[in-house]
């Protein structure tokens, strides 16, 4: 069955530290890849997405993610986090060719301390 | 302004007592989805409507039903809630059904079953 694994359930960082959140998926075909973010008390919203082309994609608020096909990975990065990045981050996969059925990872809770 | 609105934010019901969760959207999107998210787990798609066409996921229990009386509204009915149905229920919309579509989420309804 298709699945998405996020390596860390909780991450604690200080402001200005660099961030990398791991995401691996299991699916043999082509996929669309997403990172969604949920700030405290808010709804899930799209952070960035990859469909094709340049495997390094840039999203909002200085986030980027790199698709490495050989590793089935789509890790999220930010060179310098801010307190306002405190949120829960969800990696999601959508196998291409079918309807929109996002398969989510379990999420990573990021806490950034001032 | 909220575009996908879920009411209520918190819902408490009794074991076996039917409960309905509601979702409305101001985006005029064709597709509406219901996800179930249990504590510390990934959101899991229950079903979706593409216009009036209902699509149930294969592993969604029969206890869960949905109605979409018009474009703007969609309801999740749990006929006989069990303790295992306590979860956050997320409604989402997208303009179309393709795998590249961005999802717009509501803030969710947290369901407790006593």
pLDDT digits (tens, 9 = 90+) for B99-113: 778 899 999 999 999
Chain A positions in Cβ-Cβ contact with residue B91 (cut-off 8 Å)? none
Residue in this structure with the two tokens 């990065």, named with its chain if needed: A77
- The answer on pLDDT for B97 being more than 90 is no
User: How far apart are alpha carbons B73 and B34 in whole angstroms?
Assistant: 12
Q: Are A35 and A44 in contact (CB under 8 A)?
A: no
Mean pLDDT lowest among A81-85, B55-59, B62-66, B79-83: B55-59
Tens-place pLDDT, residues A17-40: 999 999 999 987 888 999 999 999
Chain-chain contact of B48 with A99 (C-beta, under 8 angstroms): yes
Q: Are A40 and A86 in contact (CB under 8 A)?
A: yes
- Rounded to whole angstroms, the Cα distance separating B90 from B70 reads 19
Task: Categorize the per-residue pLDDT at A100 as very low, low, confident or very high, splitting at 50, 70 and 90.
Answer: confident
B40 min Cα distance to partner chain A (Å)? 6
Question: Chain B residue with minimal CA distance to A94?
Answer: B99
B33 vs A contacts (CB less than 8 Å): 100
Largest separation between any pair of C-alpha atoms in chain A: 44
Chain A interface test: which of B43, B44, B45, B92 (most A C-beta within 10 Å):
B43
Our CA-based measurement puts residue A3 at a distance from the nearest CA of chain B, in whole angstroms, of: 10
- A41: pLDDT confidence band, cut at 50, 70 and 90? confident
- For residues A92 and A78, what is the distance between their CA atoms, to the nearest angstrom? 18
Is the pLDDT at B32 greater than 90? The verdict is yes
> Does A99 score more than 80 pLDDT?
no
| Nearest residue of chain A to residue B2 (CA atoms) | A43
CA A91 to chain centre: 4
């Amino acid at each position: 069955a298709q699945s998405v694994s996020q390596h860390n359930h909780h991450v604690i960082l200080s402001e200005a530290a660099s961030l990398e959140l791991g995401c691996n998926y299991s699916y043999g075909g082509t996929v669309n890849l997403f990172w969604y973010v949920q700030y405290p008390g808010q709804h899930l919203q799209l952070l960035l997405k990859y469909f094709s082309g340049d495997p390094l994609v840039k999203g909002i608020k200085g986030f980027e993610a790199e698709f490495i096909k050989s590793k089935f990975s789509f890790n999220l990065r930010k060179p310098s986090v801010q307190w306002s990045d405190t949120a829960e981050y969800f990696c999601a996969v959508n196998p291409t060719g079918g309807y929109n059925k996002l398969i989510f990872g379990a999420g990573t809770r990021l806490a950034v301390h001032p | 302004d909220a575009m996908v609105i879920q009411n209520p934010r918190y819902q408490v019901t009794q074991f076996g007592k039917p409960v309905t969760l509601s979702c409305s959207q101001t985006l005029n999107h064709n597709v509406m989805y219901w996800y179930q998210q249990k504590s510390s787990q990934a959101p899991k798609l229950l079903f979706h409507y593409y216009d009036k066409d209902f699509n149930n996921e294969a592993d969604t229990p029969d206890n869960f039903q949905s109605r979409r009386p018009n474009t703007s509204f969609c309801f999740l009915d749990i006929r006989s809630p069990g303790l295992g149905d306590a979860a956050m229920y997320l409604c989402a919309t997208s303009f179309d059904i393709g795998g590249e579509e961005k999802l717009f989420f509501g803030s969710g309804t947290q369901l407790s079953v006593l």
